[in-house]
Amino acid sequence: MKTEFFKPGTLEEALGLLDQFKENAVIVNGGTDIVEKIVSHEVEPEAIVYIRDIPECRGIEQNDGTLSIGGAVTYREIQESPLCTRIAGLIQAVSEIGSPPIRNVATPAGNIANAAPAADCNIMLLALEAEVVLACTGGERVVALQDIWLNPQETTIRKNELIRAIRIAIPSKDTSTAYVKMTRRKAQDISRVSVGVSLTLTGTFCQEIRIALGAVNKVPVRAYSLEKMMAGKEVETGLAEIRSVFPAEATPRKSYKKLVTNAVIERAIRKAYETIMAGGECIG
């Protein structure tokens, strides 16, 4: 089958191509996941829609209390953005991805649409309660990130939609974020267990905590059960309580993950706690 390559210059043009080719179109962003699938014929599109240069998907902006990361923004651009570098957990998650050449081209939007349970950026974005702005020819809809993933490689994103932006509410000055990933190798390895945390304190008390888990379920999940146990408690007391309680939301198939998940959670919470006790990371 012949494959046509398109490099639309506007969002409207890109969405028109998705309408025209329907399920036979494939969006290529950084290409670090999808190109290999095209080359190996696992995916055989009639149309490749390369979205890299679409101005509406570029740039990182702050409006009031919301950070908006364009759907074609790369990990490297996030690492270099003064708006993002103030969210420590996001930078920690992004810095764990692949290697510098991968981060130069790969994108959080590709991570989200790819729906891998072990994907790094997704886990931190879940802890940040990110929203996804999905554009189609008729307009836009905004979906909570946790409602995007159904199964590995399966999402609620429709064939005529693309991720125009990812939105994050900027953490308050009492909030600190952290990301910890457990791998087999030190470099360039996918996570075996990963944890993203957003911790809001009143003094040394946990006012609110969000704990996102990667690679322990078919999709990234929030550990609501542990969040409830920690809320309102002094951090050390809460940590002592959750240390031996395996999160109900995690259903790993590999037994070793049952042994290490709580340790990774504690490490991530401590990392966020230490940051805020040392003066905080955030914008407020």
Ligand X SMILES: Cc1cc2nc3c(=O)[nH]c(=O)nc-3n(C[C@H](O)[C@H](O)[C@H](O)COP(=O)(O)OP(=O)(O)OC[C@H]3O[C@@H](n4cnc5c(N)ncnc54)[C@H](O)[C@@H]3O)c2cc1C
Give the interface with ligand X as residue ranges (CB under 6 A). 26-34, 51, 71, 96-98, 102, 106-107, 109-111, 113-114, 119-120, 157, 162-163, 188, 190
Contact 200, 229 (CB under 8 A): no
Q: Which is nearer to ligand X, 191 or 200 (CB)?
A: 191
To ligand X, the closest distance from the beta carbon of 270 in angstroms equals 23
Q: Which helix (H) or strand (E) is 168 found in, with range?
A: strand 162-169
Q: With respect to ligand X, which residue has the nearer C-beta, 97 or 216?
A: 97
Q: How far apart are CA 49 and CA 135, in angstroms?
A: 15
Q: Which is nearer to ligand X, 154 or 236 (CB)?
A: 154
User: Which residue lies nearer to ligand X by CB, 75 or 273?
Assistant: 75
Rounded CA separation 102/104 (Å): 5
Q: Quickly list DSSP for 180-231.
A: EEE-SSSSS---SEEEEEEEEEETTEEEEEEEEEESSSSS-EE-HHHHHHHT
For the bound state, the minimum distance from the C-beta of residue 145 to ligand X, rounded and expressed in Å, comes to 13
Q: Considering the complex, what minimum distance in angstroms separates the CB of residue 183 from ligand X? A: 8
Q: What tokens appear for 121 in the block?
A: 């950026």
**Nearest distance from C-beta of residue 59 to ligand X, angstroms:** 14
Taking the complex as a whole, how short is the minimal distance between the CB of residue 40 and ligand X, in angstroms? 13
Q: What are phi and psi of 41, to 5 degrees?
A: 65, 15
The span from the CA of 259 to the CA of 277, in Å, is 29
Residue placing its CB nearer to ligand X in the complex, 110 or 247: 110
CB of 33 to ligand X, least distance (A): 3
Closest CA to 268 of 223, 234, 225: 223
Compute the least distance from the CB of residue 179 to ligand X, in Å: 11
Q: Which residue lies nearer to ligand X by CB, 164 or 206? A: 164
Nearest to ligand X of 51, 264 (CB atom): 51
d(C-alpha 29, C-alpha 260), whole Å: 34
Q: Which residue is nearest to ligand X (CB)?
A: 110
Q: How far apart, in whole angstroms, are the C-alpha atoms of residue 251 and residue 223?
A: 11
Length of the chain: 284
Per the rule left: phi > 0, alpha: psi between -120 and 50, beta: everything else, 228 is alpha
Q: Assign 115 to helix, strand or coil.
A: coil
**CB-based contact 175:198 (threshold 8 Å):** yes
Q: Which residue has the tokens 């000055």?
A: 173
